[in-house]
Structure 1
Amino acid sequence: MSAWEFGAIALAGLWAGMINTIVGSGTLVTFPTLLFFGYPAVTANVSNSLGLVAGGVTGAWGYRREIRGLGGMLARLAPVSLLGSVIGALLLLVLPPEAFEAIVPALILVGILLVIFGPRINVWARRHSTSHVLTPGRWIALVAGILAAGVYGGYFGAAQGVILVGAMSVLLPLHVQSINGIKNVLGLVVNLVAAVVFLIVEPSVIDWWVVLAVGLGALVGGSLGARIGRALPPWLLRTVIVVIGLVAMAFLLLT
């Protein structure tokens, strides 16, 4: 790997780390960049997932204030993301890419719609409920959404954050910044677990120079993304999420 190639991939990693922390579609930056430089698709996807773990750490740490007091909820949701990520990572290694290509844009569209209408649905649900406690039905729906996002994230990961924020916006009576903080932690779990699965099952497809370049960039990008994301007002944060989600959907449909 040449110095300029390393620098370009690191710059893509920085941008991806920022986007992942603010929204959750950073793979749409790094994955095409790696394909441009001639890396095989599976090597690019796996190495990218490993590198982006660094950005997930700094991004989740940057949102630590927003998730203060939500440790119990995270403790219950993290294992769901863990399970989904293992399933998704194994599917990546055993199934052809075409298996998910048809459904991924639809999942992103659902996530976008949930981000847009989630707060209104949540307000309606609270008005028609006698309790603000998460009901068993809503909890089951939340777990199903987190599991689906984990499977998708372990498989590819682009716009995983849109799906997570969308589902939680509908089902959790929390501020969007707190939801984004939870999203960052769950996204970190998914990337980390998928990385471990790749290391154990198929280490030969990993390019460690790519991992290093993406990781160094994402480490800085995650921290910057937390500062930017936390400063955005709720309406603007949701707008950014929707726009990135639409770009992600268009990218996947047109490539």
Structure 2
Amino acid sequence: MSGGEMVLVALAGLACGAINAMAGGGSLVLFPALVATGMGTLAANVTNSVSTWPGYLGSSYGFREEILDQRHRLTRLAVATLLGSIVGCVLLLSTSTEAFDQVVPVLVLFAALLVAIQPFVARRVGEPVEASPWTRRVQVVAIFAASVYGGYFGAALGVVFLGVLSLTIPEGLRRLNGLKAAMSVVDSTVSLVIFGLFGPVQWAAVAIAAPATLIGGYAGAHLSRQVNENVLRIGVVVFSVGLAGYLAFT
């Protein structure tokens, strides 16, 4: 990579970590930055997945109080995330680069849609449901399905996680963000192991992006109460729609 590309990847990694902690959808910034360096979309996707792992660690540390207070919920959520992520990663590695090139614009648009509707999901917080056995079963199935998507592509996975959690757990948004961060660590750890062993990861890019996502994730967790999420969300959505159009027609 040239010096300019290295700076681009570092800045995108910083933004990715912060956005993931505050709103979700940070991969929609890092993924196109990696593509801009000349990577194929499949290589950029797996490189993005590996690079974001430290960022999720950083945001989880920032939310450590909220996570520790909800340890009793983490086991079933972590197991569902683990199994779904494995399925998604295997599906991705079974997809040819040519086929992934065809599907990635749709995935980017889908991720942008998830980011766009997050405010409607967030409004559900404050309308808690009772934690019944049926609710917990639905929750586990929904988290598993979301994690399959996360292992395959992953952009805006945090928004999906937050949506499921907000509809099934009677907690405030910040506490749910803590659970989301912990589950994202599980998902990204699976991606790190599977893609690191079997995927076309570009490790030079990871060496630049990963530390940046760590810093961004930790900072984003602390800034989550101060930054106007709507402005951030609109920027990510507009950028993503433009990216999807570019990928579809090039």
Return 5+ residue gaps in structure 1 as ranges: 127-131
Structure 1 residue 201 displacement after superposition: 2.5
Where do residues 98-137 of structure 1 align in structure 2 (5 Å cutoff)? 98=102, 102=106, 105=109, 109=113, 113=117, 115-117=119-121, 119-120=123-124, 123=127, 126=129, 132=130, 134-137=131-134
1:216 aligns with 2:211: yes
Q: Measured at CA, do residues 226 and 121 of structure 1 come closer, stay the same or move farther in structure 2, by a change above 3 Å?
A: closer
Rounded to whole Å, the distance in 1 between the matches of 2:5 and 2:207 is 12
Rounded to whole Å, the distance in 2 between the matches of 1:68 and 1:41 is 37
Moved over 6 A (4+): none
Rounded to whole Å, the distance in 2 between the matches of 1:8 and 1:241 is 19
Q: Once the two structures are superposed, what CA deviation does each residue of 1:51-71 show, in whole Å capped at 9, x if it has no partner? A: 111111111110112223211
The corresponding residue for 2:9 is: 9
Verify the 8 A CA contact 1:109 1:245 in the aligned structure 2.
no
Match of 2:68, SS? coil
The corresponding residue for 2:92 is: 92
The corresponding residue for 1:129 is: none
Rounded to whole Å, the distance in 2 between the matches of 1:190 and 1:14 is 20
TM-score (norm 2): 0.85
Q: Once the two structures are superposed, what CA deviation does each residue of 1:23-45 show, in whole Å capped at 9, x if it has no partner? A: 22111111101111101112111
The corresponding residue for 1:61 is: 61
Q: Measured at CA, do residues 92 and 141 of structure 1 come closer, stay the same or move farther in structure 2, by a change above 3 Å?
A: same
Q: How well do the aligned residues superpose, as a CA RMSD in angstroms?
A: 2.6
Structure 1 residue 246 displacement after superposition: 4.3
Structure 1 residue 10 displacement after superposition: 1.1
1:168 aligns with 2:168: no
Verify the 8 A CA contact 2:111 2:156 in the aligned structure 1.
no
The number of residue pairs the alignment matches comes to 242
Q: Measured at CA, do residues 78 and 38 of structure 1 come closer, stay the same or move farther in structure 2, by a change above 3 Å?
A: same
Where do residues 1-255 of structure 1 align in structure 2 (5 Å cutoff)? 1-95=1-95, 96-97=99-100, 98=102, 102=106, 105=109, 109=113, 113=117, 115-117=119-121, 119-120=123-124, 123=127, 126=129, 132=130, 134-202=131-199, 205-231=200-226, 239=230, 243=234, 246-247=237-238, 250-251=241-242, 253-254=244-245, 255=247
Rounded to whole Å, the distance in 2 between the matches of 1:252 and 1:8 is 16
Rounded to whole Å, the distance in 2 between the matches of 1:37 and 1:249 is 17
TM-score (norm 1): 0.83
Percent identity over paired residues: 33
